[in-house]
Amino acid sequence: MKRSWVQFLYLLYCVEAGIYLLLVPWSVLWTRMLLGWTAGARDLLMTGSARGAISAFGGLVLTAGLVDLVRFCRAMRAA
């Protein structure tokens, strides 16, 4: 039973991290976060392709988390 809670919390974390990575690169928070970085890194991370790549990774994490969360809920219901 304890392991199932740890797994559930991990799945919720995956979903949350996926949403964060999907949305934040396109928000004002992203710009504010990069203000303290060096000019080269900031310029690279402000490009549309870098933002898109990070958002795509967030979409993958979110999808994997949601799929595993659905499987987990079905397994808990069957048990």
Q: What is the pLDDT of residues 22-79, one digit of tens each?
A: 999 999 999 999 988 899 999 999 999 999 999 999 999 999 999 998 998 898 888 7
Q: Are 62 and 16 in contact (CB under 8 A)?
A: no
Is residue 37 domain-resident? yes
Is residue 54 domain-resident? yes
- In the chain, DSSP finds a helix count (H) and a strand count (E) of 4, 0
Question: Structurally, how many domains does the chain consist of?
Answer: 1
Is residue 40 domain-resident? yes
Q: Are 3 and 37 in contact (CB under 8 A)?
A: no
What is the span of the domain harbouring residue 43? 14-78
Q: Dump strand ranges (E) for 1-77.
A: none
Is residue 2 domain-resident? no
Is residue 1 domain-resident? no
Task: Compute the distance between CA of residue 9 and CA of residue 13 in angstroms, rounded to an integer.
Answer: 6
Structure tokens at 23: 């949305």
Q: Is the pLDDT of residue 1 over 60?
A: no
Is residue 23 domain-resident? yes
